[in-house]
Amino acid sequence: MGPAFDALIRAAKPAEARWIEAYLTRSWGSTIMITRGVAHDASNLPALVAVQSDEIVGLATFRVAEGECELVSLDVLRHGQGIGSALLARVSEEAANRGCRRLWLITTNDNLDAIRFYQRRGLRLVAVHPGAVDAARRIKRAFRRSGSMASRSTTNSSSS
């Protein structure tokens, strides 16, 4: 059994915006995420943070549209301590509170740890989008010409 989970999950505060931007950029190369061919700036989305001893140790960003909640990013600084699970559970709660009928996310086929993580937590693999990473890269390049970018894509998991 791992160490007892002792992180607090709460909504990010406006004062944490710069930290979130830097963390997303470090994790994903930019704050921009491409999912299903659409670019989202995760630094502008609702965010939940996990806090341990006054330090942020995990971040989830999500967006709600058309009665569905998309988990746009999920990252932890300390792996295997239940932080990712707690953030995912809280996003799921937020989705339910906002009347969402589905929680979904996109990840890449090579992120086997994440695919296993989500499946073990009740999400189902519902679609594979061949070529999505290439398409996302094209969008990224277009974005780079006018700003900045990062991406991932292809495996669509959802729970409802």
Q: Does 60 bind ligand COA (CB under 6 A)?
A: no
**What dihedral do alpha carbons 131, 137, 138, 139 form, nearest 10°?**
110
Of the candidates 131, 123, 89, the one whose C-alpha atom is nearest the C-alpha of residue 104 is: 123
| Stretch near ligand COA under the rule CB under 6 A, chosen from 17-25, 93-101, 113-121, 139-147 | 113-121
CB of residue 18 to ligand COA, shortest distance in Å: 20
Stretch that binds ligand COA, among 40-48, 62-70, 114-122, 124-132 (CB under 6 A): 114-122
Considering the rule CB under 6 A, would residue 81 count as an interface residue with ligand COA? yes
Measured from the CB atom, the residue of 62 and 100 that comes closer to ligand COA is: 62
Rounded to the nearest whole angstrom, what is the least distance from the CB of residue 4 to ligand COA in the complex? Answer: 12
Q: Binders of ligand COA among 1-20, rule CB under 6 A?
A: none
Q: Is 74 in the site for ligand COA (CB under 6 A)?
A: yes
CB 92 within 8 A of CB 103: yes
Q: How far is the CB of 120 from ligand COA (least distance, A)?
A: 4
HSE-CB of 93 using CA atoms within 13 angstroms: 11
- Contact of 62 with 71, CB cutoff 8 Å: yes
With CB under 6 A as the contact rule, the residue among 80, 99, 130, 131 that binds ligand COA is 80
Given a contact cutoff of 8 angstroms between Cβ atoms, the answer to whether 63 and 40 are in contact is yes
Long-range contacts of 138-143 (CB under 8 A, 24+ apart): 139/34, 139/37, 139/39, 140/32, 140/34, 143/32, 143/39
- Provide the binding-site residues for ligand COA, judged by CB under 6 A: 73-76, 79-85, 107, 111, 113-114, 117, 120
